């Protein structure tokens, strides 16, 4: 009997479960040699609350248990207006951004499930990740994303930027 995996819009009542997933993801990052992405307190409950209020927050559940989280946000993303040491594959089409992707350890296929869900709804996706997040960089390349250059967050930190466009 297979497990029931679903992705749905997150609600306020999901916040405790989402924060548990984020804590687990932060620990996983630390163990895989990514010590600086997602400092303690980031993403905050308030940030997740804003994702949910805007309708962008999504939870991934296995048999009704939250095991993943991400925000799926329509363009424009202000941090993506300038890209250094490269260029976007396309800078004219609307796109969606995936932010704050997190999952608990020992649950397989979460990245693939999230990508399948997003690409079924938007053919042009951008995402960024920390230079030390080798796991995410590997997953992105495997999923067909192209490294485009470096973007800077509002606080000045740099992130590696990727884009994937499904050609029709």
pLDDT at position 1 is: 58
Query: Does the bond joining 137 to the residue before it have cis omega, within 30 degrees of 0?
Result: no
pLDDT at position 150 is: 98
pLDDT at position 167 is: 85
Average pLDDT per block of 10 residues along the chain, 168 residues long = 89 98 95 92 96 98 97 97 97 96 94 97 97 94 97 95 93
Long-range contacts of 114-121 (CB under 8 A, 24+ apart): 114/7, 114/58, 114/60, 114/68, 114/70, 115/143, 117/7, 117/58, 118/72, 119/164, 119/166, 121/72, 121/96
pTM over 0.85: yes
Task: Give the domains, in start order, of the chain with CATH numbers.
Answer: 5-165 (3.40.630.30)
pLDDT at position 21 is: 97
pLDDT at position 83 is: 98
């Amino acid at each position: 009997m297979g497990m029931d995996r679903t992705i749905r819009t997150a609600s306020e009542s999901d916040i405790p479960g989402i924060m548990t997933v984020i804590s687990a993801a932060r620990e996983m990052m630390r163990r895989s040699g990514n010590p600086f992405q997602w400092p303690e307190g980031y993403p905050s409950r308030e940030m997740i609350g804003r994702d949910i209020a805007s309708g962008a927050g999504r939870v991934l559940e296995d048999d009704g248990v939250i095991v993943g989280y991400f925000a799926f946000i329509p363009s424009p993303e202000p941090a993506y207006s300038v890209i250094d040491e490269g260029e976007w594959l396309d800078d004219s089409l609307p796109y969606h951004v995936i932010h704050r992707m997190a999952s608990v350890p020992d649950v397989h296929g979460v990245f693939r499930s999230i990508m399948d869900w997003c690409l079924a709804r938007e053919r042009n996706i951008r995402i960024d990740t920390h230079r030390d997040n080798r796991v995410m960089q590997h997953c992105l390349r495997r999923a067909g994303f192209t490294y485009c250059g470096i973007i800077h967050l509002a606080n000045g930190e740099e992130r590696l930027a990727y884009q994937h466009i499904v050609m029709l």
